[in-house]
Homo-oligomer: A and B are copies of this chain.
């Protein structure tokens, strides 16, 4: 007698995504934002952020489950309490409810993979895996004999990530022997750690608070320290990291269709 094939449910996929990080956490933003954990899954859409357009695209493509890195309802906790009755919120909620699609946020767990799944995906996309420092893979060492400057690294970022322009502090001709890639918005403490404790010549940040990291680097440069900062935007600094999750799901569930939904950035430079 052949074994009964177990259906793959939303919860099966969630369990698989949590497992590389260890046990499920009590306090996490990584929760099911909509849908039924027992629903069967045949198509998964992976995306950086559940924008209205992204959800619509996933629904139209027949996806049962979305895996998103960032929130759906405009705040880190996806707390809708201040948004009840808001026309934008209500329309997004209606689209989700009417479609019945399940949305799971994969933020905290994927950053706790060893190595950090988002960072690993970014390093792959940027072809920088071999640069990674043993102590911390955010720190990248330029191999001896290879010449890099802030400008050459910036051009590489633009080309590999499809970025039109970035914010810069420091000279583009500054030679770089060690730099750091800090996806997302981990805050000033993490940023300054790369510059000071790892002595990175250049920090590449996703998103900063202007009065924190930006001003620290401005002062450092004005004091004569040979430092530079590139701020490339939150989405561009993490989106390609979700390709790791896409690959992971394809390997784990070969019978399920897994698509990656990328998107334009919310804002353009004019």
Seen from chain A, the residues whose Cβ lies within 8 Å of a Cβ on chain B are 49, 51-53, 70-71, 74-76, 82, 86-88, 91-92, 154, 165-169, 172, 185, 188-189, 192, 196, 207, 209-220, 222-223, 225, 229, 231, 233-235, 266-270
Contact = CB atoms under 8 A, between A and B. Distances in A.
A194 to B, nearest CB: 13
B267 A88 contact: no
B210 A88 contact: no
A222 B53 contact: yes
Contacts of A51: 215, 218-219, 222
A135 to B, nearest CB: 19
25 contacts: A49-B215, A51-B215, A51-B218, A51-B219, A52-B218, A52-B219, A70-B211, A74-B216, A76-B211, A86-B196, A88-B196, A88-B220, A92-B223, A165-B165, A166-B270, A167-B269, A168-B269, A169-B268, A172-B270, A185-B210, A207-B209, A210-B233, A210-B266, A214-B267, A229-B267
A218 B52 CA distance: 8
Given A210-B234, A211-B74, A88 B268 contact: no
Contacts of A70: 211, 215
A253 B211 CA distance: 30
Contacts of A87: 196, 225
Select the residue from A207, A233, A267 with max chain B CB neighbours within 10 A. Answer: A267
A212 B234 CA distance: 12
Contacts of A49: 211, 215
Contacts of A214: 266-267
Contacts of A222: 51-53
Select the residue from A51, A222, A231 with max chain B CB neighbours within 10 A. Answer: A222
